[in-house]
Structure 1
Amino acid sequence: MKASKSIVRRTRWPDSAGAPLVTPLQPSVVYASSSPDALDAQYDGTAPGYTYAREGHPNADVLARKIDALEGAEAGLVTGSGMAAVTAVLYGLPGQGDHVLAGNQLYGRSMRMLREELPRMGIATDMADPTDAAAMAAALRPETRLILLEVVSNPTLRVSDIAGIAALARERGILLAVDNTFTTPRGLRPFDHDADIVIHSVTKLLAGHSDATLGYVAARDPEHRKRLYETAVTLGLTPSPFDCWLAERGLQSFELRYDRAEANARALADALADTPGVRRVLYPTRPDHPDHDRAVSLLGDRGGPMVCFEIDGGRAAANALVEAAPDIAFAPTLGDIGTTLSHPASSSHRGLAPETRAALGMTEGVFRVSLGIEDADLLISEFRAAIAAATAG
């Protein structure tokens, strides 16, 4: 019998006169080249294409170009998570003997990296109040290489003095990296405010469905882009093609989701401010927000889709509130298409000492709400009922 062609041999992708409407999912780890010379040309950058997925793949590039368009960026890089993007910046740009200054309200894992991981690498770190440019200036050192901040902080929604801090960075020749996860380019584009680097947890609002774990980082300077890329590839901060494919699909509805969630956040913040049992409400564009004037100057009327509020009663009341709102997902995340509720003291900032959390305004009664696209009246009714149950005693 004549031997037939083995079915285990890889089949060439069929040619087609038509192009797919939906981005194809390409999970291939490796890409075959026609010759050693052709492979050399790809690695040298004189020929386009892909070689090994850790070094780049089509689904990541398609997603990155879409986020680039939103951020006004060029050649941004998609990573395996938001913390992978933070890692690429903090491991890739400062070096041994340098100093990094950060805002004192950041995502909990970013704070842990600054406090515990970078010092092991010989990189000194400090944190200061990003709402006060003078406090940030006082914490600078001659060896400060980079400043990291969030425009709107996690979780208490304080608004950084990005104009004052950017001026400091320019004056001292320091890189300014901005985590724009909360604000998104729908609220503010950091490159328009003199940032050098923009970071996202794509997992959150950009992807929007809690089913893809990804990050993104972009740099203004081509040399910094190269350094970020080499760091990400070397450390294996690779994104999954499937997650990139999911996030691109989620991104198609980003602006619609964001606008609806933001409208819900404004409505909920106003309603909670008049709800018995609520000690305080934080929403950037409300007149009673401590950074209201700066928020309006930076964001206009774009207060974003997050609300922070505090109730009396400590952990017992916090437990009671969550139990009284079974239809609102209690989950340590944000940016989902549905509303989620989180408790910083038991999740994102549990690693901080209680007195440190208290100094930052994160008591046991503080909750962060990430608004989804549900009916606003339904959400207000559910939260008011849960707060009433939690504070009844």
Structure 2
Amino acid sequence: MTDPTLRRPAWPASQVRPLVSPLQPSVVYVSPDPDTLDAQYEGRVPGHVYAREGHPNADVLAGMIDRLEGATGGVVTGSGMAAVGIAMLAALKAGDHVVGGDQLYGRSLRMLSEDLPRFGITTSLADPTDLAAIEAALRPETRLILIEVVSNPTLRVADLDGIARLARARGILLAVDNTFTTPRGIRPLAHGADIVIHSVTKLLAGHADATLGYAVARDPALNAAMKVAATTWGTTASPFDCWLAERGLLSFELRYDRAEETAARLADHLAGQPGVRRVLYPGRADHPDHNRAGALLAGRFGNMLSFELEGGRAAANAFTRACPGLAFAPTLGDVATTLSHPASSSHRALTSEARAALGISEGFFRVSVGIEPLDALIAEVDAGLASAREAAEAEC
């Protein structure tokens, strides 16, 4: 006889429900009989079977992001790059051609330049701020265009509306990585995008403790294909990470608004400091795409800014060492401000010439502004700048 102590207990019955979503880490779900299992797989009754195919915590999180993006049927994945991956796997086949923005996130650039070609998919890169450049890169076999609304890390603003019109006229899919801008800044589906992608790890989850991605398509058939790709390629999101991200998402709008306000003021402060060669923030009039950003983003310029120091790597080292209150870490979207050095992190795989072509020097930093008081950030930045100026003068 089986020892009854080895049987898993039934979930307690209750007339009430928890205020906080339960965390459900179960790998499998028990069905009463084969007929019910058939009905679950065929979508005739709700339920889950195996966590790689989906689980309740992912469903809850996907529904929350769907509502933010004005979408339905989104897929949550184990990382932002997994979301990019399932979109490519679902939409493309051998012989297709992809045009990517030339200032995409570093790993997205690698996927286009090194990984997709191994599967017989050719790729080209073009400047998404220049509609003529995107059009010139198209081929008869072009199947998809992949862009970011605001590029990482140079914060150039894509001609989203123009590219969407071009893609629609040519019967080409438009995929938009909305990680930087978030649905608080823009809803790409409302501007003609066919696929929207997020690294949920960043601003949506917002606490640097959950690694997740999200992808959704306008076409239900493409959504279904992405779900199949996610299951087949095993891009499963952790229930615990989904549970953490749900908690973070509840404060997303408050965090975003506070960080955006602070970022605008910090950008203005940096622009007036000696030793700072340039500041990039779409809300500033001196940004090369300021007018487009104002029209496209309706005044929501976000929490991300970049700046370039005079003095190169020596000044960069001195800056980070002198402001320990700004976490030097290759991430963004945390509640605390983080500082990233693309030349040594996200874009380190590029040659120095390729980085220079993008405007990324050894003195170039990207800042993800958090929710700290502005005065505290300014004090840290000023200490870093003073040290960077000393290092730059010592090199002269």
Quick one: which of 200, 203, 219 aligns to 1:202?
Answer: 200
**1:64 offset after TM fit, Å?**
0.5
Quick one: which of 99, 102, 124 aligns to 1:101?
Answer: 99
Match in the other structure for 1:332: 330
Match in the other structure for 1:186: 184
Establish whether residue 39 from structure 1 lines up as the match of residue 57 from structure 2.
Answer: no
**1:391 offset after TM fit, Å?**
1.5
Take 1:330 and 1:62, find their aligned partners in 2: how far apart are those partners?
33
**1:387 offset after TM fit, Å?**
1.1
Query: Alignment partner of 1:284: what SS?
Result: coil
Quick one: which of 124, 127, 130 aligns to 1:129?
Answer: 127
Dislocated runs of 4+, deviation >4 Å = none
Take 2:148 and 2:2, find their aligned partners in 1: how far apart are those partners?
61
Establish whether residue 362 from structure 1 lines up as the match of residue 360 from structure 2.
Answer: yes
Residue-by-residue CA offset, 1:174-231 (whole Å, 9 max, x unaligned): 0000000000000000011000000000000000000000000010001100111101
One-letter amino acid of the structure 1 residue matched with residue 181 of structure 2: T
Take 1:7 and 1:185, find their aligned partners in 2: how far apart are those partners?
49
State how 1:110-259 maps to structure 2 within 5 Å. Answer: 110-259=108-257
Residue-by-residue CA offset, 1:344-384 (whole Å, 9 max, x unaligned): 00001111111011001111111000000000111112112
Q: Which ranges in structure 2 are unaligned for 5 or more consecutive residues?
A: none
- Per the normalisation by structure 2, the TM-score is 0.98
Take 1:17 and 1:136, find their aligned partners in 2: how far apart are those partners?
58
Take 2:100 and 2:289, find their aligned partners in 1: how far apart are those partners?
19
**1:301 offset after TM fit, Å?**
1.7
Query: Alignment partner of 1:11: what SS?
Result: coil
One-letter amino acid of the structure 1 residue matched with residue 278 of structure 2: R
Take 2:255 and 2:335, find their aligned partners in 1: how far apart are those partners?
7
Residue-by-residue CA offset, 1:106-131 (whole Å, 9 max, x unaligned): 11111101110000000000110000
Match in the other structure for 1:351: 349
Match in the other structure for 1:372: 370
Take 1:69 and 1:20, find their aligned partners in 2: how far apart are those partners?
22
Establish whether residue 307 from structure 1 lines up as the match of residue 320 from structure 2.
Answer: no
Take 1:362 and 1:248, find their aligned partners in 2: how far apart are those partners?
35
One-letter amino acid of the structure 1 residue matched with residue 294 of structure 2: V
**1:4 offset after TM fit, Å?**
8.6
Residue-by-residue CA offset, 1:282-322 (whole Å, 9 max, x unaligned): 00011000001100001122110001000111111111111
Residue-by-residue CA offset, 1:73-92 (whole Å, 9 max, x unaligned): 10111000000000001122
Take 2:130 and 2:382, find their aligned partners in 1: how far apart are those partners?
34
Query: Alignment partner of 1:182: what SS?
Result: coil
Match in the other structure for 1:60: 58
Query: Alignment partner of 2:262: what SS?
Result: helix
Query: Alignment partner of 2:266: what SS?
Result: helix
Quick one: which of 261, 264, 277 aligns to 1:263?
Answer: 261
Instruction: Report the identity percentage.
Output: 68
Query: Alignment partner of 1:34: what SS?
Result: coil
Take 2:20 and 2:224, find their aligned partners in 1: how far apart are those partners?
30
Take 2:222 and 2:154, find their aligned partners in 1: how far apart are those partners?
31
Match in the other structure for 1:388: 386
Match in the other structure for 1:296: 294
- Per the normalisation by structure 1, the TM-score is 0.98
Query: Alignment partner of 1:7: what SS?
Result: helix
Quick one: which of 51, 55, 74 aligns to 2:72?
Answer: 74
**1:326 offset after TM fit, Å?**
1.0
Query: Alignment partner of 1:113: what SS?
Result: helix
Establish whether residue 25 from structure 1 lines up as the match of residue 19 from structure 2.
Answer: no
One-letter amino acid of the structure 2 residue matched with residue 240 of structure 1: S
Take 1:230 and 1:100, find their aligned partners in 2: how far apart are those partners?
21
**1:246 offset after TM fit, Å?**
0.2
**1:5 offset after TM fit, Å?**
5.1
Q: How many aligned positions are there?
A: 391
Give RMSD over aligned pairs. 0.9
Q: Which ranges in structure 1 are unaligned for 5 or more consecutive residues?
A: none
Query: Alignment partner of 1:178: what SS?
Result: strand
Quick one: which of 279, 282, 293 aligns to 1:281?
Answer: 279
Query: Alignment partner of 1:200: what SS?
Result: strand
Query: Alignment partner of 2:123: what SS?
Result: strand
One-letter amino acid of the structure 2 residue matched with residue 305 of structure 1: N
Establish whether residue 15 from structure 1 lines up as the match of residue 13 from structure 2.
Answer: yes
Residue-by-residue CA offset, 1:226-279 (whole Å, 9 max, x unaligned): 111101100000000000000000001000000000011001000001011000
